[in-house]
Amino acid sequence: MASFITKLVTGILPLFGGTSPEQSNGKLIDYQGLPDILEDTSLVRRFAWDSISYNGDTVNQQPPETGVTRKYDFHVTRAQLAPDGYLRDMIVVNGQFPGPLIEANWGDWVEVTVTSNITGPDEGTTIHWHGLLQKGTPFYDGVPGISQCPIAPRESFTYRFRADHVGTSFYHSHYSAQINAGVVGPIVFHGPKSQKWDYDVGPVLVTDWFHKEYFRIVQGVVGSGTDRRPAFSDNNLINGKMNFDCSLADRDRPCVSNAGVSKFRLKPGKDNLLRIINGGSAGLQYFSVDEHEMTVISVDFVPIQPYRTNFITLGAGQRSDVIIHGKRGKLANRAYWMRSNISTMCALPRQPYGLAALYYSEEDAKMEIKPSSHPQQYNITRLGCNNEPLTVTKPLHRKPVQKPHRTITINVQDTLNATGSDEYLMNNQTFRVNYNAPILKAVTEGNASQPYEPLWNAYETGSGKRVIRIVWENQKVDPTNPNFYNVTFAHPMHLHGHDFQVLAAGAGSWDGSVATNALRRDTHILPPNGHLVVQFETDNPGVWPFHCHVAWHASAGLSISILERLSDVVRIPGTAHVMSQTCEAWDAWSKDNIVEQIDSGLRVMQKD
Ligand SMILES: [Cu+2]
């Protein structure tokens, strides 16, 4: 395989031309050239964007009232596509992979009507809007068994939520490991800029790619004994494209080796903004652009003090906005490689290298000139399975680290359960949901009281606005446990409903020290045999999962549920009504159909 990639980057192998955009992605995927702000001539009063700033402190900063609602229609269906030339069964939004871009201005409302048309075999779905707070709308967070019932086959559900941040994110199915089947697409919220740029190149969505269907992978991950199979990825895509060495593919599957890579166009001599998103299932990505430095200006939805670098790290669920200063003259008459490499230390990639071609002119892109640029040199081994040190990524707008009202320590163990299946334990308890009885529904109906269902893995914050600190400890080795599964993984931990402060992250146990000017974001890596310490204010009543964004780890139960200010949750208007929309249809459907829940349900599957 290495030789295939070598031949590709040195131009020996054909780069383009094997498949049409329709065959690869359902349509030509092009998110490029975004505006600074969406102009709405219909608005009675144009918003004075220049007069406000966005400081990424969502606890203290409210989004502006724009009076705009943006509507989208999503149809989730099965499709056969060949993103990297290898034809596979997928589940996609509106027939395309990656899905359509959701765009709004800060403060707008967004309405997405999702129709679940996954048939043959039938399957439910939900869509989660990653990194959004859902303040006052916890029932639109899109997590089955927590904030809603799955949308039953042939049913629709309308999500309505606020564009409560400025920056880059993505949406994805939260139903079983369906994200891996292709239900994923970018989100961009425009608003006040923390730094200036000239041209918005748009989303660069990186996804590790698996040729096996997701439920087969989940079967392998949670299977016992000889049925247990580690989840190897086959390829690495940028905006849904990459070439593949078809000599490695199953013979009975159509495959072309030169499906083609994504093309990006930068403006010469200008500051170009790239919105990098890791929307993959597992791998930690190292992103770089040959012969170009990047200035990183935000992580997740939070503006940071700009810093220059030749590469960035992105765990699954993480984003970074970077500015690349365009070359001019002769140097702009060349093509360059954009690269995203999956770490081989903390994931299982068969082919870790993702490539895209970067051009400075429409003509070069049309002529499909092959890049012949030199890769960035950086030391992956030194970094390990971590994000950048917290001394590198500092928020632009400082927020003090308060003394916590409550500290919750959570010890994560990867183990084998009684039937020999891989299972994650948090403080000796795994996680699993009931699709027919979401936690938020139980809370709203008054059916949730102490002691909670152990499989909820519930942690209550108490009432009122408080500061909660969570200390994650990864796999403290227990020599007395013969089932201890001694493989260490990095876990990109994602909290719904909040941006947390990252107080500490690193190897071994936490020594109690706290980063100065602590980073804020919604996903951060808990390193192997290490710790991650975060805290947040309980300003958002709801039921919020705090889970690993590696799909297979979430399937194996790596999740806890934050029950935030339950006495206020029951007062949120509309909860019972909205919950009943999906739950009545799902109850009816699941009565006549067997739902075989083989995983935690943050991610389940159906019998086929
Ligand atoms: Cu994980």
Please give the distance, rounded to the nearest whole angstrom, from the Cα atom of residue 549 to the centre of ligand 1: 6
Split at pLDDT 50, 70, 90, the class of 602 is: low
Residue 531 CA, ligand 1 centroid: distance in Å: 13
Ligand 1 mean position, distance from CA 198 (Å)? 37
Q: In which band, very low, low, confident or very high, does the pLDDT at 484 lie, cut at 50, 70 and 90?
A: low
pLDDT of residue 383: 80
**Is pLDDT at 595 greater than 90 in this prediction?**
no
* pLDDT number for residue 487: 54
State the Cα–Cα distance between residues 421 and 598, nearest whole angstrom.
10
- Per-residue model confidence (pLDDT) at position 185: 98
Q: 80-139, pLDDT tens digit by residue?
A: 999 999 999 999 999 999 999 999 999 999 999 999 999 999 999 999 999 999 999 999
Residues 6+ apart with CB under 8 A from 6: none
* Amino acid of residue 429: Q
Following DSSP, what letter does each residue of 334-368 receive, concatenated? S-EEEEEEE-SSSS-BSS-EEEEEEESSHHHHHHT
pLDDT in tens, 326-373: 999 999 999 999 999 999 988 899 999 999 999 999 999 999 999 999
Mean pLDDT along residues 443-459: 89
Span from the CA of 327 to the centroid of ligand 1 (angstroms): 39
Ligand 1 geometric centre to CA of 431 (Å) = 13
Ligand 1 centroid–CA 543 distance in Å is 21
Ligand 1 center to residue 554 CA distance, Å?
7
Contacts of 367 (CB under 8 A, 6+ apart): none
Distance from residue 476's CA to the centre of ligand 1 (Å) = 15
Neighbour count for residue 38 (Cβ, 10 Å): 16
Going from the Cα of 534 to the center of ligand 1, the distance in angstroms, rounded, reads 17
User: In angstroms, what is the span from residue 575 Cα to ligand 1's centroid?
Assistant: 31
The model's pLDDT over 313-335, given as tens digits with 9 standing for 90+, comes to 999 999 999 999 999 999 999 99
Distance 338 CA to ligand 1 centre (A): 27
- Ligand 1 centroid, distance to 558 Cα (angstroms): 7
**Ligand 1 centre distance from Cα of residue 177 (Å):** 13
Contact 582, 150 (CB under 8 A): yes
What is the distance in A from the centroid of ligand 1 to the CA of 300?
18
351 CA distance to ligand 1 middle (Å): 20
Q: Give CA separation, 536 vs 304, 401, 489, in Å.
A: 18, 9, 25
Gap from CA of 204 to ligand 1 centroid (Å): 23
* Per-residue confidence (pLDDT) for residue 605, from 0 to 100: 37
Instruction: Please indicate whether residue 75 or residue 220 has the higher confidence score (pLDDT).
Output: 75
Dist. CA 572 → ligand 1 center (Å): 32
Centre a 10 Å sphere on the Cβ of residue 556 and count the other Cβ atoms it contains: 27
Give the contacts of 142 (CB within 8 A, at least 6 positions apart): 126, 127, 128, 129, 148, 159, 171, 174
CA 430 to ligand 1 centroid distance, Å: 13
Domain boundaries, the chain: 60-192, 197-384, 406-570
DSSP 8-state assignment for residue 332: G
Question: Ligand 1 centre from 209 Cα, in Å?
Answer: 17
| CATH match for 197-384 among 2.30.38.10, 3.50.50.60, 1.10.3720.10, 2.60.40.420 | 2.60.40.420
For residue 122, how far is its CA from the centre of ligand 1 (angstroms)? Answer: 28
Ligand 1 centroid, distance to 37 Cα (angstroms): 36
CA of 491 to the centre of ligand 1 (A): 3
Lowest mean pLDDT among 394-403, 443-452, 458-467: 443-452
What distance in angstroms lies between residue 85's CA and the mean position of ligand 1's atoms?
A: 29
Q: How far is the CA of 548 from the centre of ligand 1 (A)?
A: 5
Query: Is-same-fold flag (197-384; 406-570)?
Result: yes
Whether the pLDDT of residue 526 is over 50: the answer is yes
Task: Give residue 590's pLDDT.
Answer: 92
pLDDT tops 60 at residue 604: no
Q: Which residues surround ligand 1, an ion (CB under 5 A)?
A: 491, 548, 550, 553
Cα 156 to ligand 1 centroid, rounded to whole Å: 31
Question: What percentage of residues in the chain have a pLDDT greater than 70?
Answer: 94
Residue pLDDT, tens place only, 267-309 = 999 999 999 999 999 999 999 999 999 999 999 999 999 999 9
Task: Tell how far the Cα of 314 is from the centroid of ligand 1, in angstroms.
Answer: 14
* Token output for 545: 């999962």
Ligand 1 center–CA 125 separation, angstroms:
22
Phi, psi angles (nearest 5°) of residue 65: -85, 105
Ligand 1 centroid–CA 527 distance in Å is 9
In whole angstroms, give the CA distance from residue 131 to residue 495: 8
**CATH of 60-192 given 2.60.40.420, 2.40.30.170, 3.40.109.10, 3.40.50.170:** 2.60.40.420
Rounded distance from Cα 557 to ligand 1 centre (Å): 10
Task: Give the DSSP H/E element, type plus range, for residue 507.
Answer: strand 500-507
Instruction: Give the residue from 604, 479, 500 showing the smallest Cα distance to 562.
Output: 500
Residues 6+ apart with CB under 8 A from 48: none
DSSP H helices in 253-393: 362-367, 380-383
- Mean model confidence pLDDT for the chain: 92
Whole-number Å distance, alpha carbon 230 to ligand 1 midpoint, is: 13
* Ligand 1 centroid – CA 490 distance (Å): 6
Q: Tell me how far the alpha carbon of residue 12 lies from the centroid of ligand 1, in angstroms.
A: 38
The CATH class, in words, for 406-570 is mainly beta
